[in-house]
Structure 1
């Protein structure tokens, strides 16, 4: 079955000069819109193509890759405004419509917005800013430590709200996130915990806590050696400065220097930590 607004694996069933027809099943033959088809493409070959309905109400296929497919979330730039709504650049020649009814707040040409792609009543691809109508709060079948794809949605008092795999909401906590994050940013994250209410807590590093403390301890010793045996940082330093220096949270840093102090590898002074020379 052909899925409109998504990539489909299709068989070439006809060729007329440089034009190709693809088997669209119940939709009939679908024209391959691209002028630059793969070299030596012939009837019987299988290709992966994006299928959608164009402005002339024709079902066509393209080998070009849009920035998002139907049911996916993307950070797209508004390139023009019209009586129908706003138009967003999404990687295909015809811009994507964000109807007035699917907008939140004032849309400004040149700015980017977080949207989800969907099929309207005419099966044409459109965008919506009403993410809460589609993205679910509760997730199932995820496991702690599982890798997921994230898109940053909003900064909150707790941290950052993110879309997980285009389907679910999750939270990255400020106390565990120190690298700069921006709305619309796409990156790989991990499930820290599936809470009893099936909501998702997220992290950006898969490394286990104990392993991270050990790795940080080695990094602290290496940086101390490189800087003449002294670094002006303690467990009272700002989390952002600690992250900029060692790439870890303040909690991990405190555990690491505590362990090094007990091993008598460092001394903790009022304004910094100092390497102990080993006899």
Structure 2
């Protein structure tokens, strides 16, 4: 079935007491349960649906969209663990099953893991696979320092946060370079810090070089427009600066230096204030 795991526009073939039967490309039909119908649909009308398998492994269509489609990655939370595998919340009535053989590591209820939605060739069911390394691309030669990328943060380690880059590559953000709140499952913009000799990618959340401080200066200025005064100065602790602005002390000092030279702020003994 070509539509399995995808969002498709399908025509209504007929109605039954259970719902509407939609025409598939291979000539078959799939049921859209009555609970997804408004009652105003007509035969021949086109509906946009997602096709997967229900609790009895029968193909079924739904009008709500899951958190990911076939061959896509997403970070999902575990709802139940059994001796056969784990069930994860992917936004549909039937939870996504990750077989034990397809787990990269043991899963725990309440924890979140990076999973790809795959088709099981033996059973023709949709399953989750958390052995993400099998699907990543290895050739990172196209990445350059300073390049902006889209990332999905999927795991915290002792060093920092693992991130999926543009859906195909793995990167790492070092924990001591993170100055904002980060959660597993966050999607963010990031910047390539370095492509290492082994081909792996180091990332950072702030732009590289001078642009980093320009962005920091803008953040301080926007905060001052609301608060007018910040009790921060060059002798403030790194912890208090991070708490109020989410940046390092070095970043803060560089940024207020730019604002001072541009005559946007006054630097006082007990803090900084905006020049109206």
- TM-score w.r.t. the length of structure 1 is 0.75
**2:214 is matched with which residue?**
211
CA RMSD in angstroms comes to: 3.9
Summarize deviations over 1:205-226 as a string: whole Å, max 9, x none: 6794353254256358668953
Contact (CA 8 Å) 1:103, 1:129: kept in 2 or not?
A: yes
- Tell me, in whole angstroms, the C-alpha distance in 2 between the residues paired with 1:211 and 1:71: 38
Cα 1:63/1:139, change in 2 over 3 Å: farther
Summarize deviations over 1:153-205 as a string: whole Å, max 9, x none: 23352x3211234332223344542112233x222324446848775554546
Contact (CA 8 Å) 2:53, 2:125: kept in 1 or not?
A: yes
**1:178 is matched with which residue?**
179
- Tell me, in whole angstroms, the C-alpha distance in 1 between the residues paired with 2:27 and 2:195: 44
Summarize deviations over 1:130-156 as a string: whole Å, max 9, x none: 111113344587896656252332335
**1:152 is matched with which residue?**
154
**2:124 is matched with which residue?**
123
**1:97 is matched with which residue?**
97
- Tell me, in whole angstroms, the C-alpha distance in 1 between the residues paired with 2:202 and 2:42: 49
Contact (CA 8 Å) 1:191, 1:200: kept in 2 or not?
A: no
Cα 1:43/1:203, change in 2 over 3 Å: farther
Q: CA deviation at 1:21?
A: 1.8
Q: Give the number of aligned pairs.
A: 270
Cα 1:59/1:142, change in 2 over 3 Å: farther
Summarize deviations over 1:32-64 as a string: whole Å, max 9, x none: 135231442222222221112334443221113
Contact (CA 8 Å) 1:99, 1:126: kept in 2 or not?
A: yes
Which ranges of structure 2 fall in alignment gaps of 5 or more residues? none
- TM-score w.r.t. the length of structure 2 is 0.75
- Tell me, in whole angstroms, the C-alpha distance in 2 between the residues paired with 1:52 and 1:224: 51
- Tell me, in whole angstroms, the C-alpha distance in 2 between the residues paired with 1:217 and 1:145: 24
Contact (CA 8 Å) 1:235, 1:250: kept in 2 or not?
A: no
Summarize deviations over 1:53-103 as a string: whole Å, max 9, x none: 334443221113323333233333333343422222333222322212122
- Tell me, in whole angstroms, the C-alpha distance in 1 between the residues paired with 2:29 and 2:143: 39
Summarize deviations over 1:100-138 as a string: whole Å, max 9, x none: 212244433444433222111222111222111113344
- Tell me, in whole angstroms, the C-alpha distance in 2 between the residues paired with 1:131 and 1:31: 32
Contact (CA 8 Å) 2:84, 2:99: kept in 1 or not?
A: yes
**Secondary structure of 1:69's aligned partner:** coil
